[in-house]
Amino acid sequence: MNKDSIPLVQPTQPPPPLQKGIPFPVARGLWLVLWLALLAFAFSGVRFELAGIPVRTLRLNGNFVREWWWFISQGVGITFQLSLVSILCATTLAFLSALAGLSQVAPLSSLSALYVSLMRGTPLFLQFLFIYQALPQLGLVLGSFASAVLALTLNYGAYMSEIFRAGIQAIHRGQTEAAYALGLKPWQTMWRIILPQAFRIVLPDIGNQFIAMQKDTALASAIALQELMGRARQAGLPRQHFFEALVVAALWYWLLTLILSFFQGRLERYLTR
């Protein structure tokens, strides 16, 4: 090296500035409390003037809420039961459909493609009505609960089939080749190597589907099922207090979503360990 040359020195990065003020998690929590307080104030029925203009917040009929909240709340059990049974059936159907779609058997692969296309191409509400009101013309009569389970199973099974297919295809092909080299048969490779890893990948998405299905059960009220939304309609419409009934139902749906989201977050953290 030339003695007259000057060695290059990498510039040092300045230390990150110290954060001042309230930490972000604390600030976020305080803002959340503020928004909740404003939401509660919006339903308080308070009257006040704003720039000389009389303003009144929304007011719930307390007598109706106290009298009918328990009747509406009894639909929560049916809603959760409907969601649980449907998600179990939809998961099984989705898994079988994904395997059929990935197979090299033309009849099975084409049938899976047709099923997914048909269910994803028609509204869930139409499927509810078709199963409950149209199938009886063909001699197949199902109760409201069975019809709701079948509609949710077929619809969510189609969407979850694509989730399973993506999860299976996400496993590197080299693992399949290595399993074949060790003498494992195709079904052994799928059961012992591919599926355990695929299920680990798709479980968070299945949790999201369960949360979405729990809210879509409200469509079952259109086929006379007395779940949460059905009971809200039965209590509110005849008494001209549909607003209060829907608020009670909305709070229950929100609470169920928060509970399911909490357990889903715990599950995702467990799978990423």
pLDDT in tens, 68-116: 999 999 999 999 999 999 999 999 999 899 989 888 889 999 999 999 9
153, 94 Cβ separation under 8 angstroms: no
Cα separation, 170 vs 197, whole angstroms: 9
* Phi-psi group of 6: left, alpha or beta (phi > 0 → left; psi -120 to 50 → alpha; rest → beta): beta
pLDDT of residue 213: 93
pLDDT of residue 20: 65
Residues of the chain with pLDDT > 90, as a percent, come to 49
pLDDT of residue 76: 94
DSSP string, 241-262: -HHHHHHHHHHHHHHHHHHHHH
pLDDT of residue 167: 82
pLDDT tens-digit readout, 182-219: 777 766 777 777 777 777 778 888 888 999 999 999 99
Q: Which residue has the tokens 């509660």?
A: 40
Residue 174 has pLDDT above 80, yes or no: no
184, 193 Cβ separation under 8 angstroms: yes
pLDDT of residue 263: 86
pLDDT tens-digit readout, 226-241: 899 999 999 998 888 9
194, 175 Cβ separation under 8 angstroms: yes
pLDDT of residue 166: 84
Q: What's the pTM value of the predicted model, to 2 decimals?
A: 0.81
Phi, psi of 4 (to 5 degrees): -85, -10
